[in-house]
Amino acid sequence: MIYLNNKLVPKNKALISVFDHGFLYGDGIYETLRVYKGIIFKLEEHVDRLFRSAEMIGLTVPKSSRDIKKAVYKTIASNRQNEAVVRITISRGTGPLGLDPALCPKPTFVIMSNQFYNYPSEYYAKGVNVSVVNTRRNYGPALDPRIKSLNFLNNVLAKIEAKESSSYEAVMMNYQGYLAEGTVSNLFFINSKGVLCTPALKVGILDGITRGVILDAAEELKIKTKEGYFRRKDIYNATEVFITNTSMEVMPVTLVDNIRIGRKAGTHTGLIGLKYKEKVLHYIEANSQ
Ligand code: PMP
């Protein structure tokens, strides 16, 4: 079942208009969440980010934060999914052609939940490959990467480049050539001094919810962290590299632009990955009654 506007409808009835400005102009926002044992991890943080994205595009979210949380739980319950990936999408809504948001009186609100299938275990054991692509991450003052928007062409173009070089994920730099983020992930690496490094938010990236949990996990593990401006050579010289997002969690990277970083997941990456899982378990325990 799909939650569409105010009710659950069967998948084949979950249809929206060709005049929807999400379809016509990519005018809208979304969130992806992960469900573990029937509990949505970091639901509060995701809903907060949804509201922040909405505010940054001048969109009034058609529901309260409380009602959104209820609707998400209702959706996963209706699909009897305990392990799932949920997507909340809000578009500007249906209206005549034209860019003026005022043409769309009512935003379109959708919640979809899909069964979560584990990524292949060898990805976590052996690591994946990434390539630093030519497509630059959107320039902040043009389209701020902090907005989790439906306008995803920047990322799609980077993904096409990654596919051309048979890479699992693309790493984009910002307009100045500083490492930014993946098409659907944040980037981390361990430098030669054992410091966990990740591009600073100021570089122009999405403030990943997983990224935040990883930085907390590193602190608990007493691993030093640095959020900063890094160059391509910094990941070439890294001892470990990994990427993160809500569904893949901590994914080791062992090949960057065909440069070998390792043959298997690094020690720090392993520890951080385990700490992440521990934090998920604590969260589930604390939030299930
Ligand atoms: N950067 C981009 C561009 C993304 O699309 C995502 C996935 N939402 C991330 C980073 C990771 O964010 P999160 O940890 O909140 O899933």
Pocket test for ligand 1, best of 246, 248, 249, 279 (most atoms within 8 A of CB): 246
Distance 208 CA to ligand 1 centre (A): 5
Task: Please state which of the ranges 158-162, 206-210, 285-289 shows the lowest mean pLDDT.
Answer: 285-289
Residue 140, burial from CB neighbour count under 10 angstroms (0-12, 13-18, 19+): middle
How far lies 286's CA from each of 65, 84, 280, in Å? 20, 19, 10
Q: What is the pLDDT of residues 74-104, one digit of tens each?
A: 999 999 999 999 999 999 999 999 999 999 9
Which of 1.10.3720.10, 3.20.10.10, 4.10.490.10, 1.10.486.10 is the CATH number of 121-285? 3.20.10.10
Question: Which CATH number describes the domain made up of 2-115?
Answer: 3.30.470.10
Percentage of the chain with pLDDT > 70?
100
Domain with CATH 3.20.10.10 in the chain: 121-285
Pocket test for ligand 1, best of 87, 155, 185 (most atoms within 8 A of CB): 185
- Distance, in Å, from the CA atom of 188 to the CA atom of 110, rounded to the nearest integer, reads 32
Cβ(32) – ligand 1 distance below 6 Å: yes
CB atoms within 10 A of CB 126: 16
Tokens at residue 52, please?
A: 């922040």
Q: What is the pLDDT of residues 58-76, one digit of tens each?
A: 999 999 999 999 999 999 9
**Residue whose CA is at the smallest distance from ligand 1 atom 6:** 184
Cβ(31) – ligand 1 distance below 6 Å: no
Cβ(250) – ligand 1 distance below 6 Å: no
Pocket test for ligand 1, best of 32, 46, 206 (most atoms within 8 A of CB): 206
Q: What is the pLDDT of residues 173-182, one digit of tens each?
A: 999 999 999 9
Q: What is the pLDDT of residues 216-266, one digit of tens each?
A: 999 999 999 999 999 999 999 999 999 999 999 999 999 999 999 988 989
Q: What is the pLDDT of residues 102-115, one digit of tens each?
A: 999 999 999 999 99
> Is residue 267's pLDDT more than 90?
yes
Cβ(186) – ligand 1 distance below 6 Å: yes
Distance 206 CA to ligand 1 centre (A): 6
Question: What is the band of 134 on the pLDDT scale with cuts at 50, 70, 90?
Answer: very high
Residue 42 CA from chain centroid, whole number: 13
> Is residue 289's pLDDT more than 90?
no
Cβ(209) – ligand 1 distance below 6 Å: yes
Domain with CATH 3.30.470.10 in the chain: 2-115
How far lies 139's CA from each of 128, 146, 164, 174, 176, in Å? 27, 11, 24, 7, 9
